[in-house]
Structure 1
Amino acid sequence: MIKKRVLCSSALLMVMLLSNTYSKPQPDLADPFRKALGQSMHDNVSETVEASKKEAAANEFYNRISFAEENIPLEEVAVKRKLDKYLSRFAYLKKPSHHIHRKADKMLPRIAKILKSYGVPEDFKYIAVVESSLNPQTTSHKGAGGYWQFMPATARLYGLKVNGSVDERLDLVKSTHAAAKYLKSLYKEFGDWTLAAAAYNVGGGSLRSSLRRQKKDNYYDLKLNSETAAYVYKIISMKTVLENDLSS
């Protein structure tokens, strides 16, 4: 009888213990997973928003890029990639400590004023930066010299004195007047400022030949020698870098 009571008591105690154990709230094993999933979704949304902001900023930046108020087909992958190449290469020029930046601040307004007097777009002032880094002592292996890197014969054709004792290619004002006349004549020939810029580099005759042979009328569609193929991109990049804070 005692044994039966003990067994009954033990069984009752066991039932109470088990009942108490299962009546307590148990940890939800799925809860950490739900928390991790929620955090992951939050991170993905944040990354998407940030990516959208960067894309919008990039589009706004590219939409501001221009040259002589003519179209730059930046919707073409090859054009955009080529421009990015020179933007990256010239980005250091914007730093105030850089000598080209200091020269540009001082000289480009004077150049722009002269170009404007001839009806040449102000953007062409950046040709002088690309050609000589605004250093008149720069001379090419072909003999081009001065701020605008005129060949002697071309310089004389547009009114500059170039001889054993005088070289007016080194004079900023006189050489810029000559460059403006030359650029205006190239525009008159090609009817397009971008092509005029390309012709300044390669020569009118050579560019005419390329346009005729390739049956194109657009600089960005032409297959040109490596220097001329990069030339307009360099001018646009130089303009963009010096007019915007791309040094960081």
Structure 2
Amino acid sequence: MGKKHLVTCSVIVVLVIISTLNIFSTNPVLPAKTTPKFIEATTADLLFLKTEKAEDNFNFANEALPVNDKRVDYKLKKSIATHRFRNVQSNILHSKADKLFPVIEPILRAYGIPEDFKFVPLVESGLREGTSPKGARGIWQFMPGTARSYGLKVNRGKDERLNIRKSTIAACKYIKELYAEFNSWTLAAAAYNNGSIKLERAINRQKEDNYFRMSLNRETGSYVYKLIAMKEIINRPKKYGYNNYYSYLQKPLPMLTAVN
């Protein structure tokens, strides 16, 4: 009995020693939450600094922008980055919005035009004044012939393209016709920039009527992205480096009766 007891004790001691050696020879496992993770930063990440969240619902006139498309997402972020305060270095866009929007918004509503079209003048003439090299003039950048066809007087003595209210009414008539032709506010905006004939040819040639999937010239191909970027910059200025909010955000909208 004594010998058996001694053997049993010896076996227990040996097992304890082996167990101890295994414990100290094993590398400790860190909890998952303390394991460091290294994420490689790309050039695009450094440029845009991930300011746009995945849950942001970008759209123009409630027509959704497919941000899950990498090409579309890149073009939008590039346009927003271009208009950030660190690149523009001026509050002129917000100052113009403060001046123009109280006049433009009620006219757009009276004609049934989506409010997002109020950003067209900021894109068309936001950082410049006067007449374009092609002869377009005013906040809506009307060419003389187009202006006259929508009721504006353009002659040596008078140029109603410079009248904010009258030129906005003319723009609404034009945009409404473009929507009736293309049945899309996004395409109407593209046609406003490029002309309905050129856009219709592009649609027929490409057999595609989704603006974001079309291949257009550089100016028209980036036009709607600029409008959406301007919408972001004006509506959420602080997010993009504009620390001085423009006063229009706190003003009640003026009333305006229907316009014929």
Query: Scaled by the length of structure 2, what TM-score is found?
Result: 0.72
Q: Quote the offset at 1:38 in angstroms.
A: 3.7
* TM-aligned CA distance change 1:101 to 1:175, over 3 Å: same
Q: Which of 235, 241, 245 is matched with 2:233 structurally? A: 241
More helix by share: 1
CA contact (8 A) 1:95 1:247 kept: no
Q: Distance in 2 between matches of 1:247 and 1:221?
A: 27
- 2:54 aligns to what? 59
1:62-211 equivalences in 2 (<5 Å): 62-63=56-57, 65-92=58-85, 98-133=91-126, 137-211=129-203
Q: Which has the higher contact order (CA 8 A, sep 6+)?
A: 2
Q: Find the residue that maps to 1:144 and give its secondary structure.
A: coil
Amino acid at match of 1:224: L
Is residue 216 of structure 2 the alignment partner of residue 224 of structure 1? yes
The RMSD of aligned alpha carbons is: 2.9
Unpaired runs of 5+ in structure 1?
Answer: 1-27, 48-53
CA contact (8 A) 1:112 1:125 kept: yes
- Runs of 4 or more consecutive aligned structure 1 residues displaced over 3 Å after TM superposition: 28-31, 37-41, 93-97
* TM-aligned CA distance change 1:74 to 1:155, over 3 Å: same
CA contact (8 A) 2:96 2:122 kept: no
Q: Distance in 2 between matches of 1:45 and 1:172?
A: 55
Report the count of equivalent residues. Answer: 209
Q: Quote the offset at 1:110 in angstroms.
A: 1.9
Q: Distance in 2 between matches of 1:70 and 1:198?
A: 13
User: Which structure has the larger Rg?
Assistant: 1
Q: Find the residue that maps to 2:84 and give its secondary structure.
A: helix
* TM-aligned CA distance change 1:163 to 1:85, over 3 Å: same
Q: Distance in 1 between matches of 2:54 and 2:227?
A: 20
Unpaired runs of 5+ in structure 2?
Answer: 1-22, 40-48, 242-260
